[in-house]
Amino acid sequence: STLRFVTTNAGKVREAEEYLAGLRSVEQFDYDYTEVQSDDLATIAAEGAAEAYEASEGDAPVIVDDAGLFVRDLDGFPGPYSAYVEDTLGVERVWELAEDLDDRRAAFRCVVAYTDGETTETFDGAVQGTIVAPRGDGGFGYDPIFEHDGATFAEMETDRKNALSHRGRALAKLADWLADGDT
């Protein structure tokens, strides 16, 4: 069966397709849901999923993924504003802001919300890393400035990023939950 991934971001869809291969087929539903004002990714994702399910044909479950990059010594900036900051300042400028910090530790966080119109569930994931000067041309978004275990996410193949990443961890929980429901 099919899951509709509600997102404007094709990079997220590629990762979910690889992760859920064999369990569900994933198709992109390119719909820009309302991001409610909240600093809680789970609230944003769950409300987005409910709205998108209503806007969809309603014949397949939907998932929404809300993610962000949280730099510790910038008080969690850009956090829930990560998409806006990528579009306005850009990734290079976020690196320049972090460059002057003594401690450049950061985390990616992600919440995947699932709804089939009756049941709604959220699954979260996080990964710790360090902000570095941009390297690599894979991935998307902030991947070139996020280093984990000596490589940036933009230097990794999708399956390696998926095995470590915030999204991979959230998708693993979703996959377990879907597999339980199938048995």
| Catalytic center residues | 66
Q: Which residues lie near Na ion (CB under 5 A)?
A: 83
Q: Judged by CB under 6 A, how many residues of this single chain contact ligand ITT?
A: 21
CB of 49 to Na ion, least distance (A): 13
Q: Nearest-CA neighbor of 129 among 97, 162, 164, 180? A: 164
Angle made by CA atoms 69, 72, 76, in degrees to the nearest 5: 50
- Of 83 and 151, nearer to Na ion (C-beta) is 83
- Of 2 and 8, nearer to Na ion (C-beta) is 8
Identify the three-state secondary structure at position 142. Answer: coil
CB of 149 to ligand ITT, least distance (A): 16
Rounded CA-CA distance 121/108 in Å is: 20
8 lies in the site for ligand ITT, by CB under 6 A: yes
Which residues does 83 contact at the CB level (< 8 Å), separation at least 6?
A: 68
**Residue 60 in tokens:** 């397949």
Footprint of ligand ITT (CB under 6 A) = 7-9, 12, 65-69, 82-83, 86, 108, 139-143, 153, 165, 167
